[in-house]
């Protein structure tokens, strides 16, 4: 394949860009790719930068800056009380200054995390298959115990008795599963 820019050298750099479901492919030789520079996130051979990736995900800096006007008003900028970092600083650096930043910038992070996690903004982790059954049973048991407490406090004793029976059933199946594993 020949370079799309100079039409002389073989293309060694293949960039695929998908924006709003529209796929664009660019095939360049090494020299033309270096000349394009930041357009393809390659800074004179230094390679891929995670900071550029995070800045792109945050949509803080456009790919081709059009004006030097500040993007945020000084009144709108949220600042961490602990380390004094602002959200634009985080977007530029690509990492938080302290643990308190996660709480401070929680609202700004939600849309970013939704985009990364296919609509979810919280990460609950994954359960390994070999022990997944017992973990799910424990979570179910905890949920049932919590609902039992709530039903008793509301004085809904008939529903509470049903939940109690379900708790006993889950505990029995957990005990049987534990005995089978020994």
Q: Which two tokens stand for residue 169?
A: 């059933």
Q: Between 37 and 169, whose confidence is greater?
A: 169
Averaged pLDDT, 80-107:
86
Question: Which pTM does this prediction carry?
Answer: 0.33
Q: Which two tokens stand for residue 105?
A: 């910038």
At residue 164, the pLDDT reads 95
H/E element holding 27?
Answer: strand 22-28
Q: Which two tokens stand for residue 150?
A: 């709530």
Q: How many CB atoms lie within 10 A of CB 59?
A: 11
Distances (CA, A) of 130 to 24, 134, 136, 169: 42, 9, 12, 22
Partners of 13 in the beta sheet? 28
Question: Nearest Cα to 70, choosing from 41, 50, 46, 92?
Answer: 92
Residue 66 has pLDDT above 50, yes or no: no
Q: Between 68 and 138, whose confidence is greater?
A: 138
The model's pLDDT over 50-64, given as tens digits with 9 standing for 90+, comes to 566 666 666 554 444
Q: Quote the CA–CA distance of 171 and 36 in Å, as a whole number.
A: 63
Q: Quote the CA–CA distance of 31 and 13 in Å, as a whole number.
A: 10
CB of 42 closer than 8 Å to CB of 15: no
At residue 41, the pLDDT reads 46
The model's pLDDT over 10-55, given as tens digits with 9 standing for 90+, comes to 888 887 877 777 888 888 888 887 777 545 544 444 445 556 666 6
As a whole-number percent, the residues of the chain with pLDDT over 90 amount to 16
Radius of gyration of the chain (CA): 27
């Amino acid at each position: 394949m020949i370079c799309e820019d100079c039409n002389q050298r073989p293309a060694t750099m293949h960039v695929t860009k998908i924006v709003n479901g529209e796929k664009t492919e660019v095939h360049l030789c090494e020299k033309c790719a270096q000349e394009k520079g930041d357009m393809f996130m390659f800074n004179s051979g230094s390679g891929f930068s995670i900071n550029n990736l995070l800045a792109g995900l945050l949509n803080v800096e456009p790919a081709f800056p059009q004006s030097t006007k500040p993007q945020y008003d000084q009144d709108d900028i949220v600042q961490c009380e602990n380390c004094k970092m602002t959200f634009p600083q985080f977007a530029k650096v690509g990492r938080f200054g302290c643990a308190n930043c996660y709480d401070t910038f929680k609202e700004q992070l939600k849309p970013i995390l939704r985009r990364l996690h296919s609509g979810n903004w919280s990460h609950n982790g994954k359960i390994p298959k070999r022990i997944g059954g017992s973990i799910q049973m424990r979570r179910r048991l905890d949920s049932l115990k919590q609902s039992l407490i709530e039903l008793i406090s509301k004085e809904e004793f008939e529903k509470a008795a049903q939940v109690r029976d379900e708790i006993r059933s889950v505990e029995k199946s957990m005990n049987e599963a534990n005995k089978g594993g020994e």
